[in-house]
Amino acid sequence: MADLRNLELSKIKIGDRARTEKAIDEEFLQSIREKGIIQPITVSTNMELVAGERRLLAAIQLGMDSIPAIIREIVDSLDAKEVELFENIHRKQMQWFEECKLIDQINNLYMEKTAGEAWPWTQKNTADLIGKSRPLVARKMEMAKMLYTIPELVNCATEEDAVKLVKKLQYDIVVEELVKA
């Protein structure tokens, strides 16, 4: 069950988000000045932001007092991540590393949720859920693991650049080990 109402900006809590780029461009701000917030944000019943961070930040930047919001019962962290994922997949393109981490989180949360069941969650299930191929999901999850190991990869402009850097680092390690031997 969801409830739509205007919420005071000061009451909304922004927790941990998948999207790290917070830039609000002038065109986006101008559209809100002219037409207002067309699509409500989504918050949980305890006023934690679930979807619509860019809209919320734009409203704050424009000095608004309130914003239209859908107040939605959030069952668990998986439910919140799903809403955020679907919101972001259909909105402004996420940074490559944000998408990798979010897909990995969704997969891991579903695996936890279905642990011990007769049909546990698989990467194929995640692929079907988000409308992507299983090999693509596997690659994104592998890159997420690399991002946790080598946080500097977020500085790579593209996922392909990050893959090249990982391969170079792996090559350097092998060469170093061979030199030691």
pLDDT 10s digits, 23-39: 787 878 888 888 888 88
Cα atoms found within 13 Å of the Cα of residue 60, Cβ hemisphere only: 15
pLDDT in tens, 44-93: 888 988 888 888 999 999 999 999 998 988 777 777 777 777 666 655 56
What the block records as the tokens of 93 is 């393109």
Enter the pTM of the model. 0.55
pLDDT at 29: 86
Nearest to 106 by CA among 134, 85, 131: 85
Interval 145-152 mean pLDDT: 94
Which amino acid is present at 136? L
d(CA 144, CA 98): 9
